[in-house]
Amino acid sequence: MRINSQFKFQLFHFPVIAILLSVRIASAAPVPIDTSTLSRPVADETKYGLGFSVSVAQRPFVGVDQQNTSLPYIKFSYKDFYVEGLNIGYKFLDLEKTRFEALATPRFYEVKPSFAENGELDGIDETTPTYLAGLSLQHTETFTFTTQLLYDVIESDGYEFILSVSNNYKISKPLILAPAIGITYQDSKLVDHFYGVQANEVAAGRPEYQAGSSINTNVSLTVLWNATRHVQLLGQVKYEKLGDGITDSPIVDEDSIATAVLGMVYIF
């Protein structure tokens, strides 16, 4: 369950290391604004911007309520390479309706004993933020359909398979609303790493638990507002229903979580 690999960590080198270090100083698990499953226009020009996001998020662990914290938001594109928020991508195919790319995206599933207010997680091994990397295929007709297969390259050796449907509604020239619905399959390695209970973590009222796979569903609404030529405001609210592999864990006492994130980016 608690696996670290120096070799895997070196795969992403400085950009990923810097991002992960920037959030480790926080006492809470942040929530990034994720636009990886939303339709994005074809763009060849170089862009770069810098900003931040603040989040309010529920956590499913016992003794843990909501957590509030912040993250950097990076916007950069050069030819087929881009960074959007904390996602890192390389586009193999970027057409008007179809996009195929390699994608690395962060996950803040981590748990720390200090998260619990009254010691409910004492004795649990600390896990850390991780990055999932793999392939993303997106096709847009009336709606945008996204498929992602992502492998945990830092922590667990597990993987996620994501299916999502979204649409962009242009309310006005600078304002876009993007609702989405999705389903995520997480394999047993990934779930067990973050939600399992190993023999050395057993305590009164906390039996050993080897987690199985989990199927989670979610709905979200993302708002993009180009307030000025240089300033973009972003927001996202999300509700996620957790699968049995997670909710059956003795360190989990919620079957769903809700998050809200606001961000601002200055585009140079």
- Measure the CA angle with vertex 68, ends 67 and 74; round to 5°: 125
State how far the Cα of 252 lies from the Cα of 240, in Å rounded to an integer. 14
pTM of the entire structure?
0.87
pLDDT in tens, 34-84: 888 887 766 667 789 999 999 999 999 999 988 888 999 999 999 899 999
Tokens of 173: 């020239």
- 114/49 Cα distance (integer angstroms): 34
Hey, what amino acid is at 23? Answer: V
- The candidate with the shortest Cα–Cα distance to 192, out of 250, 261, 259, is 250
Distance CA 47, CA 45 (A): 6
What domains can you pick out in the chain, each with its CATH number?
6-267 (2.40.128)
| Residue pLDDT, tens place only, 193-205 | 999 999 999 999 9
Instruction: Report how far apart, in Å, the C-alpha atoms of 241 and of each of 25, 63, 150, 206, 221 are.
Output: 29, 19, 20, 23, 15
Q: Are 167 and 39 in contact (CB under 8 A)?
A: yes
Give percent of the chain with pLDDT exceeding 70: 88
SS (H, E, C) 58-125: ECCECCCCEEEEEEEEEEEEECCEEEEECEEEEEEEECCCEEEEEEEEEECCCCCHHHCCCCCCCCCC
